[in-house]
Amino acid sequence: MAGNSYNQVEVSRSALQHNYHLLKKHIKTDTGIMAMVKADAYGHGMCESSLAFSEVGCNDFGVAEINEGVRLREFGIKGNILVFLGFVPSDTALFFEYDLVPVVYDIKSVQLLSAEAIKQNKEIDVHVKVDCGMTRLGIFSGEFKKFVAVMQTLPGIRYAGVASHFPRADERDSSHTDEQLIRFKSLGSVADMQVPGIVAHTANSGGILYFSQSSCDLVRAGISLYGYYPDGIAGVRRAIGEKLIPVMTFKTIVLQVKTVPARTGVSYGHTYRTTRKTLVAVLPVGYEDGLSRTLSNKGEVLIHGKRAPVIGRICMNLTMIDVTEIGNVESGDEVVILGNQGNEAISADEIGELTGSISYEVLCMFGNNNERTHIK
């Protein structure tokens, strides 16, 4: 397609790989890392990010829907690809065609997989999702024994793993995570359920960083792979030693610079009025590009290595900033919305706090709504 957008997301492969190596230091040497690359790798590009992780030894990848797993295989990603959100009956054969691993939470799905296995004269590995306190997808722990017993009677099905998920592992001092871990580990001691080679995994980024005892056979790294701590700014402040490196940068440019007099309304609704003669720079970025409208009159961007405040309402495609204190701003100048410029930095945590959200959503919004380039 001819022509590039003014708005560009850059993803650092070296930062992705740095974060992977750093997380390896937090877990046992015999524990593997599953890279969670669902949601297009949290906006960072699922295929390219998976390739970067593969290059440093990652062999396990987690996606939400089956179409994501298919994309990874067609891109050439090897290793185990687990699909966590189930599937519709018409997609059952895709697990066999693309060598994907379903994470199951109801017997009907296992029966569909068994029927397809018989049809193709194959076997398929499945992982069982258990709800140990998240109250989301998964069978309750009390149903686990019966579920596995029924599953093991179905031909073509190999019980290969068991998974759960921590809802409060970002709270370092929470006792809930330890309680949930005890409940999860007790599944392995349920009578007749000790099957050799079963892979157990429940630790997310919070579990990896703050509850080392939760590692099990695999850990599932998500937000931490992309350079952010699950407890946000507090996590950055409390981190000791080598730190995670944010992977994404979001840049735009100045379209126009104009001088407006005092008491001039800016943008829709004139929710901002200048209090002095003001140098206003207009940026070609707005809520269509993931820059939340809630940042109107309170967000900041970086230009010439300095912070400039957003003034007026953010529009669909345009945003205004006050560059009076910066000066010498011209059309075409680089503007950083997320990332570093000079000695200043704006993080997804900062933007998340201003919008009442979290880094996860900020990264997905920026990464999935703009042209994206992977750089070294």
Active-site positions? 38, 268
Cα–Cα distance measured from residue 110 to residue 147, given in angstroms and rounded to the nearest whole number: 10
Q: How many CB atoms lie within 10 A of CB 138?
A: 22
Nearest to 165 by CA among 212, 199, 201: 201
Residue 165 near residue 214 (C-beta atoms within 8 A): no
Cα–Cα distance measured from residue 146 to residue 319, given in angstroms and rounded to the nearest whole number: 57
CA atoms within 13 A on the CB side of 2: 0
Query: What are the Cα distances from residue 258, in Å, to 118, 236, 254, 267, 312?
Result: 70, 38, 11, 14, 15
Cα–Cα distance measured from residue 299 to residue 311, given in angstroms and rounded to the nearest whole number: 8
Cα–Cα distance measured from residue 95 to residue 40, given in angstroms and rounded to the nearest whole number: 20
| The residue type at 118 | I
Token couple for 226: 């992309």
Parallel, antiparallel or unpaired: strands 8-12 and 248-253: antiparallel
DSSP result, 97-160: HTT-EEEE-SHHHHHHHHHHHHHHT--EEEEEEEESSS-SSSEEGGGHHHHHHHHTTSTTEEEE
